[in-house]
């Protein structure tokens, strides 16, 4: 369906440190843009309610983020399922980590597996643009939270 991919460098953090955060649903749910309420959270799964800022999705969405597969400290797979009034989606993301200079390089792929309800009628270009913004905002939040963590080295 829709596929997004990219890479992100974390020059100040080891693969083990980045992996420990990215494989923890409690950390990841804090990085999702527009979260209004976290309803459930554990290391393996988080459920949150968000209010997306898109004209084509009104109201709230319940998003379940599940850490589906892990291979410390090199890879993980995430599954995200969202449900709202007249909408639904399923997204799968795979993340690979590797050492890079003094830090970590993260390569990721996110695939929209299904869109349901009213989202089926939304043009793919509009969904692609909105999804890319969410992905970019989420990675920025991950980077900011990693840099604020107590394990971050001083510059």
pLDDT in tens, 91-145: 999 999 999 999 999 999 999 999 998 888 888 888 888 888 889 999 999 999 9
Rounded to 5 degrees, what are φ and ψ at 10? -125, 85
For residue 72, give Cα distances in angstroms to 14, 76, 78, 139, 152. Answer: 12, 8, 14, 20, 20
> Which contiguous run of DSSP H or E holds residue 26?
helix 25-29
Query: CA-CA distance, 96 to 94, in Å (whole number)?
Result: 7
* The model scores a pTM over 0.85: yes
Find the distance separating the first CA and the last CA of the chain, reported in whole Å.
Answer: 42
pLDDT at 86: 86
Domains and CATH numbers, the chain: 2-148 (3.30.530.20)
pLDDT in tens, 16-75: 999 999 999 999 999 999 899 999 999 999 999 998 866 566 688 999 999 999 999 999
Query: CA-CA distance, 72 to 60, in Å (whole number)?
Result: 34
Q: Which of 56, 110, 52 is nearest to 79 (CA)?
A: 110
> Which contiguous run of DSSP H or E holds residue 131?
helix 124-148
Number of other residues whose CB lies within 10 A of the CB of residue 82: 21
Number of other residues whose CB lies within 10 A of the CB of residue 7: 12
């Amino acid at each position: 369906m829709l596929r997004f991919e990219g890479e992100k460098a974390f020059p100040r953090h080891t693969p083990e440190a980045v992996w420990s955060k990215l494989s923890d649903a409690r950390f990841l749910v804090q990085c999702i843009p527009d979260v209004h309420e976290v309803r459930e959270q554990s290391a393996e799964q988080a459920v949150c309610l968000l209010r997306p800022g898109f004209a084509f999705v009104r109201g709230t969405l319940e998003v379940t983020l599940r850490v589906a597969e892990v291979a410390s400290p090199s890879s993980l797979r995430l599954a995200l399922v969202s449900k709202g009034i007249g909408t639904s989606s399923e997204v799968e993301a795979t993340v690979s980590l590797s050492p890079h200079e003094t830090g970590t390089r993260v390569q990721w792929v996110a695939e929209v597996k299904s869109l349901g309800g009213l989202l089926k009628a939304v043009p793919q270009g509009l969904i692609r643009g909105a999804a890319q913004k969410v992905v970019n905002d989420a990675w920025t939040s991950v980077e900011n939270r990693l840099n604020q963590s107590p394990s971050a080295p001083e510059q």
